[in-house]
Amino acid sequence: MIDRFSYDEFGLFHENATEYGLPFAAPPVVRRVFVEVAPDRRLSALVWKVGEPELVLLHGGSQNAHTWDTVAMALDRPLVALDLPGHGHSDGPGDTPEGQLSAQGNAIDVAAAIRGLAPAAKAVVGMSLGGITTIALWAQAPELVRKVVLVDIVPGIKTERAKHIGDFVSGPPSFASLDDLLERTAQFNPTRSLSSLRRGILHNAVQQADGTWVWRWARHRSSADGDIRPLEAVANRYEPLWAAVEHITVPLLLARGMRAGSVLGDEDEEELKHRLPSAKVTHVEEAGHSIQGDAPLELAALIEQFVFEG
């Protein structure tokens, strides 16, 4: 008999608070909800606090809504963190050529979820694939996007800059143990604490009946996704979204990681400013691509200032 691992997705917030020095008088008020976005298809989301959600947070490829936990705790505002199609607890993507990496397909589903959960949100914050989805969302449903925060992403990034992400995600299809998962994840994230990586794995992987572990997003892998090299394999497919960026009329902030691991270079920042002169760019010196993981408190402060004080 295989011993199944016991996991409480709402029982780890004290670790986030301890690691980043956040107050923790009581666990935050968070609940998981599901929204039907198409017949027999639902997106899942974490709804933080009580009240009209003020923000929508969209994670990157092969991540899930819990990647925002520390950011959400630091913001301390009502918000919604969505699981993109085929990620986290959401159902798989619809019938799109790019599967779970489809910006347009994701945007259709995200729009339906936002209408149901956060129609008056003051901003959409998107990291990596979530940022690409945010741009596509603006093109499809601009009434739902009042401000945009892009986290280390613009359309048309150079594929070689994302190679390390593809190398990590294109690993074994399953792992014999949680320790094996942690070891591989730590190899690709040497600056992150083991406790934060372990939390991320528990939120983003699931133990199967035979005791092995698989990434939640990998359960919805399709032939369209190929080997699931996010950004590296499909970055050139997002190039046409520059046209959508040029037509964005709401305030936009790019938070760019400046440490190794970021997928952006100076030329990407310059292209954004050329395409959208009104765009603001902020450098996060102590972060790579996943700014919400490397510097969550700084990212939360940037969001607070741009969305609510700017």
pLDDT tens by residue, 12-25: 999 999 999 999 99
Which residue among the candidates 66, 87, 203, 289 is catalytic per the annotation? 289
Q: What is the pLDDT of residue 173?
A: 84
Confidence of residue 223 (pLDDT cuts 50, 70, 90): very low
Q: What is the model's pLDDT at position 53? A: 98
Q: What is the pLDDT of residues 39-71, one digit of tens each?
A: 999 999 999 999 999 999 999 999 999 999 999
Is pLDDT above 60 for 250?
yes
Q: Is the Cα torsion angle 78, 121, 247, 229 positive or negative in sign?
A: positive
What's the number of CA atoms in the CB half-sphere (13 Å) around residue 9? 19
The stretch 212-220 carries a mean pLDDT of 89
Give dist(CA 62, CA 240) in Å, integer: 23
Q: Which residues contact 183 (CB under 8 A, 6 or more apart)?
A: none
Catalytic residue chosen out of the listed positions 62, 90, 128, 262:
128
Residue 152's nearest CA partner among 268, 74, 68 is 268
Cβ count within 10 A of residue 278: 10
152 belongs to the catalytic site: yes
Q: Considering only CA atoms, give the Rg of the chain.
A: 18
pTM of the entire predicted model: 0.94
Each residue of 93-139: pLDDT tens digit? 987 767 888 999 999 999 999 999 999 999 999 999 999 999 999 99
Domain positions in the chain are 13-309
Taking residues 292-298, what's their average pLDDT? 97
Q: DSSP labels for 253-309?
A: EEEEE-STT-S--HHHHHHHHHH-TT-EEEEETT--S-HHHHSHHHHHHHHIIIIII
pLDDT at 4 over 70: no
Model confidence at 226, in pLDDT bands (50, 70, 90)? Answer: very low
Give the separation between CA 53 and CA 80, rounded to whole angstroms: 6
89 catalytic per annotation? no
Cα dihedral value 175, 176, 179, 184, nearest 10: -30
Q: Is 66 a catalytic residue?
A: no
**Catalytic residue among 69, 91, 109, 152, which?**
152
Superfamily designation of domain 13-309: Alpha/Beta hydrolase fold, catalytic domain (3.40.50.1820)
Neighbours of 268 (CB within 10 A): 22
